[in-house]
C-alpha cells in the first residue's frame, strides 16, 4: 500500500506553488493584453480613485480592484472622459492607461510594466485555489490526493491561460471552490468560525463574478443531501440538526451580503461621471418578465448595489444575442453540447484518464467516500447543467469553476484506489507525466491547447473560437513574425481592435473591419487588397456575425492559411477580392442613420446602402438596409426586391440562423403596402 509522508507532501506542495508562479510570470511576459483586460484594469483603477462603479458594471469589482492595486503608487495619466457609451469609455480608458503612460508619450511606465504588475496581482487567486485544492484533498481523502490535485491544477493549460488574465473567471473558480469546501468543513465540525469562513467565501464569490449566484441553489442541494443522504448509517443526526443548519446558512448568507456591500463601499448608486449609461429600469425591461421583475424589485428597495444589479442585467442581455461557433459551424445561439465538447478537448489525456480511474473507483465501490463525492460532484454537475442550457458559448473559461471540483474528485478517487492496490500507481504516474509534458510543450502560449484526441493546438480553431483559442494576446508574437519576414505593408483584421491596436506594438498593418471596429469607427477600404493579410482566428470564422452569409472573411475561412502565428493569427499572402468587407463601412453608416430616431434621414441611409450594394450586390445587410430606407421613404414597391434578395440569402444560411432571420425578413415583407 503506497503511503505519502505528510512532511514530504508539504514540500511538494510548496514546490508546485513555486512552479505555478514561474509558469505564470514567464509566460505572461511574452503576451500582449487580451481582449478586455484594459477595460477591467481601468475600471479597477477608477474604483480605487473615485469609488466609481459606473465603468464596467457588467462585472463585479473584486478582480479589478486587486489588479489595479499595484498601480496606485504610480504617477499615471488618465484620459479625460468624452461622454461615450459606458463600455466604450472604459475600453478606451483602459487602452490610454496602458499605452499612453509610456516614455514615448511623456510617461514613465511601459504597457508591459503595468500589465505585468496587474497580472501578478490577480495571480493570487490561482495560487489560493492551488492551496485550497491541496488542503481539500488532504482533508477529504489523503495527503497524496492533495498533491495529485495540485499537479492537475498547476500544469493544466486552461488554468495557466486564465490565471494571470485580469478577468473574473479564475477568481470565480477560486471562491466557488472555497465556498463549498468551507461549507463541507462546517458540516464536519459546526463552529461559528467556520460559519464566518463560509460566509466570507460566498461573499467574495459574489463580488468576483455574477454567476456566483448559483452558489445559493448549490449550497441548498448540499444541505439537503446532508439531511437526507445518511452517508454513514451508523451515525445518527443530532437532534435539531436541521434547525441549526438552517440558522447557520442564514448567517452565512448575511455575512456574504455584508461582504458584497462592503466591496461596493456600502453605496447603492453607481454615480456615473462622464459616461453615457442607460437607466437600469430601461435595460432591465429588455429581459424576460421574471428576471426583470426580480431585479427591479431589488433595485426599488435598494437590497443590492445598483452596479451589481446593472451587471446582472447586462450579462443576460449580451448572452441572449451571442452566436456560437463549434465544429467549424456557426449557430445563432448557444448549443447544449458546447461545454461537454469543450471540456473533452481542453482537458488533457492525463486528466481524462485519471478522472476515468476515479469514476471506476467510486462506481465500483472500491472507494467509499459518499459525502466527499457528493460535495465535489454536485457543484460541478449543477454548474455544467446550467451552462449547457445558457445561451453564452464563447470559451472554456465560463465553466472554469468546474475544474477544481473535477481535479479534487479525480485525485481523491485515483489515489484512494492506488492505496488499496499498488498496481494502480503505474497508470496514474504515467497519466500525470503525460499531463505535465502536454503543459510544458504548450509554453508560453497555453490558450489554444487541445488534447491529441482533437488534433492538438493547431486544430483548436477548427473546432472552437473566441477565448478557447484567440483572445487577441498574440501581438508580440505577431510583431516578431512581421519583423522576421520584413513586412512593411499589410492588412490586419484584429479581434480586439479598436480597443487594442496592432500599432501599439509597432505592427505596420492597416486595419480591416471587425464587429467592434464597426461600433467605434468605419474603415474605408478598396474591394481588392494586396497581402499579406493577417486575420485573428476569432474573426476568420465570423462567429460574431452569426452566419457565414454575413462573414466578411468567409472566402479566407474556406482556404488554408499560408502561416499561423501562435495558433491565433492566420496569414494569407497574395491579392484578394474582399467586397463583403469593403461594403461594411457604408452599411454601418446606413445602419447608424436608420437607428437615429432623433434625426431621421432615410435618403442618406439609402445612398449608403446602395453604395454598399454597388460594391457587393449580394450583401445581406446592404439589401436589408436598402429595403428599410426605401420603406421609410414610402417606396415600398422598390423595397420588395431587396427584401426578397435578403430572404433568398437566408435560405443559404445555417439552420439556426435561418430560424433567427426568416421571421424578421417575413415581418418586413408583411409591412409593405400591396
List pLDDT tens digits, range 572-628.
Answer: 999 999 999 999 999 999 999 999 888 889 999 999 999 999 999 999 999 999 999
C-alpha cell at 562: 499560408
Q: Dump strand ranges (E) for 552-612.
A: 563-565, 569-572, 575-577
Q: pTM of this prediction? A: 0.94
Helices 338-346/370-389 angle, 10° precision = 120
From the list 70, 76, 75, 68, the residue with the least C-alpha distance to 51 is: 68
CB-CB contact of 137 with 411 (8 Å): yes
**Following DSSP, what letter does each residue of 136-194 receive, concatenated?**
HHHHHT-HHHHHHHHHHHHT-HHHHHHSSSSSSHHHHHHHHHHHHHHHHHHHHS--HHH
Which has more pLDDT, 1 or 63?
Answer: 63
Q: Which tens digits make up the pLDDT trace of 391-435?
A: 889 899 999 999 999 999 999 999 999 999 999 999 999 999 999
In this prediction, residue 231 carries a pLDDT of 64
Q: Is the pLDDT of residue 673 over 60?
A: yes
Say which range, 38-42, 86-90, 422-426, has the weakest mean pLDDT.
86-90
Mean pLDDT to the nearest integer, 233-259: 87
Q: Which tens digits make up the pLDDT trace of 179-232?
A: 999 999 999 999 999 999 999 999 999 999 999 999 999 999 999 998 887 666
Q: Residue 80: pLDDT band by 50, 70, 90 thresholds?
A: confident
CA distances to 116, 204, 214 from 201, in Å: 27, 5, 14
The most distant pair of C-alpha atoms in the chain lies apart, rounded to whole Å, by 85
Residue 669 CA to residue 294 CA, distance in Å, equals: 37
Residue 325 CA to residue 546 CA, distance in Å, equals: 9
Listed in sequence order, the residues at least 6 apart from 141 whose beta carbon sits closer than 8 Å to its beta carbon are 369, 372, 411, 412, 415, 416
Helix (H) or strand (E) holding 324: strand 324-326
Residue 431 CA to residue 226 CA, distance in Å, equals: 34
Residue 310 CA to residue 276 CA, distance in Å, equals: 14
In this prediction, residue 1 carries a pLDDT of 46
CB-CB contact of 367 with 410 (8 Å): no
Residue 443 CA to residue 19 CA, distance in Å, equals: 13
Ramachandran assignment for 265, one of left (phi > 0), alpha (psi -120 to 50 degrees), beta (any other): left
Q: Which tens digits make up the pLDDT trace of 300-349?
A: 999 999 999 999 999 888 887 789 999 989 998 889 999 999 999 999 99
Mean pLDDT to the nearest integer, 69-77: 94
Q: By percentage, how much of the chain surpasses pLDDT 90? A: 81
Listed in sequence order, the residues at least 6 apart from 99 whose beta carbon sits closer than 8 Å to its beta carbon are 105, 111, 504
Q: Residue 650: pLDDT band by 50, 70, 90 thresholds?
A: very high
Q: Is the pLDDT of residue 360 over 50?
A: yes
Q: Is the pLDDT of residue 274 over 70?
A: no
Which has more pLDDT, 354 or 523?
Answer: 354
Helix (H) or strand (E) holding 431: helix 425-442
Residue 195 CA to residue 252 CA, distance in Å, equals: 6
CB-CB contact of 593 with 604 (8 Å): yes
Residue 36 CA to residue 399 CA, distance in Å, equals: 19
**Following DSSP, what letter does each residue of 225-275 receive, concatenated?**
HHHHH-SSTTSPPPTTHHHHHHHHHHHHHHHHHHHHHHHTTT-------SS
In this prediction, residue 518 carries a pLDDT of 83
Residue 386 CA to residue 368 CA, distance in Å, equals: 28
In this prediction, residue 55 carries a pLDDT of 87
Q: Is 529 helix (H, G, I), strand (E, B) or coil?
A: strand
Mean pLDDT to the nearest integer, 513-531: 88
Q: Residue 79: pLDDT band by 50, 70, 90 thresholds?
A: confident
Task: Give the rounded distance of the alpha carbon of 264 from its chain centre.
Answer: 23
Residue 365 CA to residue 355 CA, distance in Å, equals: 15
Q: Is the pLDDT of residue 358 over 90?
A: yes
Q: Is the pLDDT of residue 167 over 90?
A: yes
In this prediction, residue 270 carries a pLDDT of 86
Q: Residue 85: pLDDT band by 50, 70, 90 thresholds?
A: confident
Residue 629 CA to residue 609 CA, distance in Å, equals: 8
Instruction: Output the CA angle 438-439-441, nearest 5 degrees.
Output: 70
CA distances to 98, 135, 179, 588, 604 from 194, in Å: 41, 15, 11, 56, 66
CB-CB contact of 497 with 511 (8 Å): yes
Which has more pLDDT, 442 or 52?
Answer: 442
Listed in sequence order, the residues at least 6 apart from 512 whose beta carbon sits closer than 8 Å to its beta carbon are 491, 492, 493, 494, 523, 525, 533, 535, 552, 553, 578, 581
Q: Residue 277: pLDDT band by 50, 70, 90 thresholds?
A: confident
- In this structure, what are the phi and psi dihedrals at residue 348, rounded to the nearest 5 degrees? -70, 165
Mean pLDDT to the nearest integer, 48-53: 89
Q: Residue 236: pLDDT band by 50, 70, 90 thresholds?
A: low
Please report where in the chains the cell 497524496 appears, as a residue: 144
From the list 386, 378, 383, 388, the residue with the least C-alpha distance to 400 is: 383
Residue 535 CA to residue 506 CA, distance in Å, equals: 17
CA distances to 7, 15, 34, 62 from 147, in Å: 12, 11, 31, 29
Mean pLDDT to the nearest integer, 11-40: 96
Q: By percentage, how much of the chain surpasses pLDDT 70? A: 97
Residue 46 CA to residue 547 CA, distance in Å, equals: 38
Reported as half-sphere exposure (CB side, CA atoms, 13 A), residue 233 has a value of: 0
Average pLDDT, the chain: 93
Listed in sequence order, the residues at least 6 apart from 249 whose beta carbon sits closer than 8 Å to its beta carbon are 219, 220, 223
Amino acid at each position: 500500500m503506497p503511503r505519502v509522508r505528510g512532511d514530504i507532501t508539504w514540500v511538494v506542495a510548496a514546490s508546485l506553488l513555486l512552479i505555478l508562479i514561474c509558469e505564470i510570470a514567464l509566460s505572461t511576459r511574452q503576451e500582449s493584453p487580451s481582449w478586455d483586460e484594459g477595460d477591467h484594469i481601468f475600471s479597477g483603477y477608477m474604483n480605487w480613485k473615485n469609488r466609481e462603479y459606473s465603468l464596467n458594471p457588467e462585472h463585479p469589482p473584486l478582480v479589478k480592484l486587486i489588479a489595479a492595486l499595484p498601480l496606485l503608487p504610480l504617477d499615471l495619466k488618465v484620459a479625460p472622459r468624452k461622454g461615450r457609451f459606458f463600455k466604450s469609455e472604459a475600453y478606451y480608458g483602459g487602452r490610454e492607461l496602458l499605452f499612453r503612460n509610456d516614455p514615448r508619450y511623456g510617461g514613465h511606465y511601459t504597457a508591459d510594466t503595468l500589465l505585468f504588475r496587474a497580472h501578478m496581482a490577480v495571480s493570487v487567486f490561482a495560487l489560493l485555489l492551488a492551496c485550497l485544492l491541496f488542503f481539500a484533498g488532504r482533508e477529504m481523502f489523503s495527503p497524496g490526493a492533495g498533491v495529485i490535485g495540485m499537479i492537475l491544477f498547476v500544469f493544466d493549460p486552461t488554468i495557466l491561460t486564465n490565471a494571470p488574465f485580469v478577468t473574473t473567471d479564475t477568481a470565480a473558480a477560486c471562491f466557488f471552490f472555497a465556498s463549498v469546501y468551507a461549507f463541507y468543513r462546517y458540516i464536519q465540525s459546526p463552529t461559528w468560525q467556520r460559519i464566518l469562513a463560509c460566509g466570507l467565501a460566498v461573499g467574495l464569490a459574489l463580488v468576483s463574478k455574477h454567476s456566483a449566484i448559483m452558489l445559493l441553489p448549490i449550497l441548498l442541494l448540499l444541505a439537503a443531501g446532508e439531511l437526507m443522504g445518511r452517508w454513514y448509517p451508523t451515525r445518527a443526526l443530532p437532534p435539531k440538526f436541521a434547525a441549526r443548519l438552517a440558522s447557520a446558512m442564514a448567517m452565512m448568507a448575511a455575512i456574504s451580503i455584508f461582504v458584497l456591500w462592503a466591496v461596493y463601499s456600502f453605496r447603492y448608486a453607481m454615480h456615473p461621471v462622464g459616461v453615457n449609461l442607460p437607466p437600469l429600469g430601461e435595460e432591465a425591461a429588455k429581459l424576460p418578465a421574471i428576471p426583470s421583475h426580480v431585479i427591479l424589485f431589488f433595485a426599488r428597495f435598494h437590497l443590492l448595489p445598483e452596479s451589481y444589479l446593472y451587471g446582472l442585467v447586462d450579462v443576460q442581455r449580451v448572452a441572449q444575442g451571442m452566436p456560437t461557433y463549434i465544429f467549424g459551424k456557426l449557430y445563432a445561439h448557444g448549443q447544449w453540447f458546447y461545454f461537454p465538447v469543450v471540456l473533452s478537448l481542453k482537458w488533457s489525456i492525463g486528466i481524462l484518464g485519471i478522472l476515468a480511474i476515479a469514476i471506476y473507483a467510486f462506481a465500483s465501490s472500491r472507494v467509499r467516500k459518499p459525502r466527499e463525492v457528493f460535495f465535489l460532484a454536485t457543484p460541478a454537475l449543477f454548474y455544467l447543467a446550467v451552462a449547457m442550457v445558457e445561451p453564452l458559448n464563447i470559451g472554456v473559461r465560463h465553466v472554469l469553476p468546474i475544474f477544481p471540483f473535477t481535479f479534487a474528485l479525480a485525485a481523491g478517487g485515483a489515489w484512494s484506489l492506488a492505496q488499496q492496490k499498488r498496481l494502480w500507481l503505474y497508470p496514474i504516474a504515467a497519466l500525470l507525466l503525460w499531463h505535465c509534458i502536454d503543459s510544458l510543450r504548450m509554453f508560453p502560449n497555453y490558450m489554444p491547447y487541445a488534447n491529441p484526441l482533437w488534433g492538438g493546438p493547431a486544430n483548436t480553431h477548427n473546432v472552437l473560437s473566441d477565448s478557447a483559442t484567440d483572445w487577441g494576446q498574440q501581438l508580440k508574437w505577431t510583431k516578431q513574425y512581421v519583423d522576421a519576414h520584413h513586412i512593411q505593408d499589410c492588412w490586419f483584421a484584429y479581434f480586439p481592435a479598436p480597443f487594442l491596436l496592432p500599432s501599439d506594438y509597432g505592427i505596420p498593418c492597416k486595419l480591416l473591419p471587425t464587429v467592434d471596429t464597426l461600433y467605434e469607427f468605419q474603415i474605408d477600404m478598396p474591394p481588392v487588397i494586396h497581402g499579406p493579410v493577417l486575420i485573428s482566428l476569432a474573426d476568420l470564422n465570423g462567429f460574431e456575425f452569426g452566419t457565414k452569409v454575413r462573414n466578411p472573411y468567409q472566402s479566407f475561412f474556406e482556404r488554408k492559411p499560408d502561416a499561423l502565428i501562435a495558433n491565433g493569427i492566420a496569414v494569407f499572402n497574395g491579392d484578394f477580392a474582399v467586397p463583403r468587407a469593403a461594403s461594411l463601412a457604408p452599411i454601418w453608416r446606413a445602419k447608424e442613420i436608420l437607428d437615429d430616431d432623433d434625426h431621421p434621414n432615410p435618403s442618406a441611409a439609402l445612398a449608403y446602402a446602395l453604395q454598399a450594394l454597388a460594391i457587393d450586390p449580394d450583401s445581406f445587410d446592404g439589401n436589408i438596409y436598402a429595403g428599410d430606407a426605401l420603406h421609410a421613404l414610402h417606396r415600398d414597391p422598390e423595397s420588395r426586391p431587396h427584401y426578397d434578395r435578403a430572404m433568398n440569402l437566408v435560405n443559404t444560411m445555417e439552420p439556426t440562423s435561418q430560424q433567427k432571420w426568416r421571421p424578421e425578413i417575413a415581418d418586413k415583407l408583411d409591412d409593405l403596402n400591396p
